[in-house]
Amino acid sequence: MPSAPLTCRALLFDMDGTLVDSTVAVETIWTRAAEAHGLDPAEVIAYSHGRQTADTVDHFLPDLSGDGRRRITGELRQQEEQWPGRIDEIPGAADLMRQVLAAGMPAALVTSATRDLARARMAAAGVPLPGVLVTAEDVDHGKPAPDGYLLAAHRLGVDPADCLGFEDAPNGIAAARAAGTQLLVVGRDIPDLTTVRVGGDGHGTVNV
């Protein structure tokens, strides 16, 4: 855990595992898909964390036609968006986002989910959306490529080195590092978001 306040000009948040807990949905949907295609569910789930759905489908089903892979990707995205179970916030996520918005601090969501799925999961978990969303539709290369973080920093008008990223999964961590952002890893550097506070001056001091 960092021992001193961190200074940055913008905050960049991953979603799944960082702001919302979608573990049951992710593991259930990918287990069913893996079993339907004779794949090892544990291997598929491990690979999928932090990645775009299309990238995981392409990796494990390379012998299918492009249309076939797009069809499966569409079906999986629909299942994710229509998930009937609970989606919970990571402890402290909603309060932290309200602090960020109240302070007027530039912030973005950088997720491998589609825009519709991101909106649905954030709403289900009760976590407010930041002003900028970078989703699967916005980048040609998903995590672990840095494209999403670089685009978010650009849209916020902030150098990536002056941004603080919040991540949890190896693919997202690699993406944030490759983009050159500062980084806090949920589950490693901090257990959750309950101890994170944005400085009262609203000028980029983050206490953890």
Cα-Cα end-to-end distance for the chain? 8
Output the six-digit token pair for 73.
């990707």
Q: Are residues 12 and 163 in contact, defined by beta-carbon separation less than 8 angstroms?
A: yes
Which residues make Cβ contacts (< 8 Å) with residue 150, sequence separation at least 6?
Answer: 160, 179
In the numeric block, the tokens 């990223």 are attached to: 165
Q: How far apart are CA 110 and CA 79, in angstroms?
A: 21
Kindly name the residue from 16, 21, 55, 147 that is annotated as catalytic.
16
Neighbours of 163 (CB within 10 A): 28
- Give residue 98's pLDDT: 96
Please report the domains of the chain, with CATH numbers, ordered by start residue: 6-22+87-207 (3.40.50.1000), 23-81 (no CATH)
- Give residue 201's pLDDT: 57
Three-class SS state of 21: strand
- Give residue 61's pLDDT: 94
Kindly name the residue from 14, 21, 55, 147 that is annotated as catalytic.
14
Q: Are residues 145 and 178 in contact, defined by beta-carbon separation less than 8 angstroms?
A: yes
Residue ranges of the chain with pLDDT lower than 70? 1-4, 200-204
In the numeric block, the tokens 């890893």 are attached to: 185
Three-class SS state of 67: helix
- Give residue 26's pLDDT: 87
In the numeric block, the tokens 């994710």 are attached to: 80
- Give residue 205's pLDDT: 76
CA quadruple 80, 163, 9, 187: dihedral sign: positive
pLDDT tens digits, 95-106: 999 999 999 999
Which residues make Cβ contacts (< 8 Å) with residue 201, sequence separation at least 6?
Answer: none
Active site residue 168: no
- Give residue 5's pLDDT: 81
Q: How far apart are CA 45 and CA 33, in angstroms?
A: 10
CA atoms within 13 A on the CB side of 111: 26
Nearest to 205 by CA among 160, 153, 173, 162: 162
Distance from CA of residue 73 to its chain's centroid? 18
CA distances to 62, 84, 85 from 24, rounded to whole Å, are 26, 11, 8
pTM: 0.87
Active site residue 138: no
